[in-house]
Amino acid sequence: MRHHQDNGYVHGYGAAEQARLHDQAATLEALLHHDSLFPDGSTVLEAGSGVGAQTIPLLRRNPGARLTCLDIAEASLAAARARITAAGLPPPDFWQGDLRALPFADATFDHAFVCFVLEHLPEPAAALAELRRVLRPGGSLTVIEGGHGSVLLHPEDPGARAVIACQVALQRAAGGDAEIGRRLGPLLGQAGFAAVRVSPRPVAVDGSRPALAEGFVRRTFAAMVAGIRDEAIRAGLTDAAAFDAGLRALLRTAEPDGTFCYTFFKAVAIVPAA
C-alpha cells in the first residue's frame, strides 16, 4: 500500500502519508512479519524500503542479519534513517538506486524482501528478474502485497465500493495494480523462482477489535483512500459529494456494529541452484 520507487506513487510523499505508512506497519506487524525471519549473519536486501516503515520490524525481529535498504528517493532514505535512529535500532546499509536496475553484483545477497512495492511498478516481472539476479542460488525472496478486490464491508455500500475503485483506477493509470496480491504466485513462477508458497493474511475487523478498527480501517485504509480525493476528482472519476459520501460509508464499517475485511498476500520463493 505504498511505494517510493518512482513518481507514479499516487499517495504522495507528505508528512501525513509518512505517518500513515508507519501506523500501517505497526498495526500489521504481527500479521505480516511474525515469520519474516532470517538467519544470523545472512545478508538481506530490502528493495523499495521507502521511509523505513517495514524496515523497523525487520530490524527488531532479525538483530543478527545484515540488512541493506535501497530506495530511489533520497528524502525517503533520510526519513528512514531518522526514524530508525529514533527507535534506537542499528542502522542498515542505505543505498539510493532503482529496483529495476539494482547497483549490486550478481548473487550478492542471501535473501531479499519487498513489501507494498510491486503493486506500483508498470513491469513487476522485470523487477523480479532483477531481484533474482542479485540473490545467490538457494537464496530466498519474500514479497508482501495487498488485494483491493478482497474487501468485504458491512454495512455494504456502493459508494464505499466506488471510492475504493477510484484508488484502483488511479493506480492502474499510473502503471500499477492495487490487486496484485492475487498474482504473486504466477508472477514468481514466471520469473524463474522455485518452491513458491503464497499465504493469505486476512485482516478481519469488527466490534470485538476496536484497536484494528482504529489502526487499520481508519488510520490505514480509509486514510489512504482519503488521500486520493483531489486526484480522483481531477481525473473525473468522481465528484466531491460522491467521494465524501463514499468515504463516510467506508468509515462507517469501523463502528462497533460494522465489519471490514481485507486480505494481504505474502509469498516466499527460492532461487534455484544453478
Whole-number Å distance between alpha carbons of 212 and 219: 9
Structural contact between residues 270 and 138, judged by C-beta atoms closer than 8 angstroms: yes
Residue with cell 528512514: 80
Model-level pTM?
Answer: 0.90
Q: What is the pLDDT along the chain (274 residues), one digit of tens a residue?
A: 443 334 444 444 455 555 554 555 567 888 999 999 999 999 999 999 999 999 999 999 999 999 999 999 999 999 999 999 999 999 999 999 999 999 999 999 999 999 999 999 999 999 999 999 999 999 999 999 999 999 999 999 999 999 999 999 999 999 999 999 999 999 999 999 999 999 999 999 999 999 999 999 999 999 999 999 999 999 999 999 999 999 999 999 999 999 999 999 999 999 999 7
CA distance 250 to 234: 21
Domains (ranges, CATH) in the chain? Answer: 15-270 (3.40.50.150)
Are the C-beta atoms of 101 and 130 separated by less than 8 Å?
yes
